[in-house]
Amino acid sequence: MSGRGTPRGLASSRDRFQQRATFARRRPLRLWGYAAGAVAVVALLVWLVAWSPVLAVRSVEVVGVPEAEVAPITELARVPMGEPLARVDTRGVAARVAERATLADVSIERSWPSTLVIHASPRVPFLVVKNPQGQLKVVDETGVAYAEVTTAPKGVPVVSAASDAALSQDALATAVGVVRVLPDSLQRRVSAVTVSSANLVTMRVGRTTVVWGGVAEPERKLAIVQALLRTPHAVIDVSAPNTPVTR
Q: In what order do the strands lie in the sheet with 115-122?
A: 59-63, 115-122, 103-111
Mean pLDDT value across the chain: 86
Picking from 107, 122, 137, the residue at the C-terminal end of a domain is 122
CA 164 – CA 186 distance, rounded (Å): 28
Mean pLDDT across 114-129: 96
Which of these ranges, 23-27, 35-39, 55-59, has the smallest mean pLDDT? 23-27
* Predicted pLDDT at 1: 47
Are 138 and 231 part of one and the same domain?
yes
Q: Identify whether residues 229 and 131 lie together within a single domain.
A: yes
| pLDDT in the model for residue 55 | 80
Asked if 174 and 101 sit in the same domain, the reply is no
Q: Report the number of secondary-structure helices (H) and strands (E) in the chain.
A: 6, 12
Measure the CA–CA gap between 81 and 74, rounded to whole angstroms. Answer: 12
- Give backbone dihedrals phi and psi of 141, rounded to 5 degrees, phi first: -70, -10
Domain span including residue 7: 1-50
d(CA 228, CA 194): 20
Residues 77 and 169 in one domain: no
Q: Are residues 161 and 193 in the same domain?
A: yes
Q: Please indicate, yes or no, whether residues 26 and 77 belong to a single structural domain of this protein.
A: no
Chain centre to alpha carbon of residue 111? 19
Task: Specify whether the CB–CB gap between 120 and 62 falls below 8 A.
Answer: yes
Q: Is 157 buried (19+), middle (13-18) or exposed (0-12) by CB count in 10 A?
A: middle
Which CATH number do you get for residue 93?
3.10.20.310
For residue 133, give Cα distances in angstroms to 102, 163, 174, 194: 22, 9, 21, 14
pLDDT at 219 over 70: yes
Same domain, 220 and 162: yes
Count the domains in the chain: 3
The pLDDT tens digits for 132-171 are 999 999 999 999 999 999 999 998 999 999 999 899 999 9
Per residue in 77-97, pLDDT (tens digit) is 999 999 999 889 999 999 999
Residue 18 has pLDDT above 80, yes or no: no
> Which domain CATH number covers 204?
3.40.50
What is the pLDDT, as a whole number, of residue 196? Answer: 96
Mean pLDDT of 100-120: 95
d(CA 206, CA 203): 10
Tens-place pLDDT, residues 175-217: 999 999 999 999 889 999 999 999 999 999 999 999 999 999 9
pLDDT at 106: 97
Same domain, 229 and 134: yes
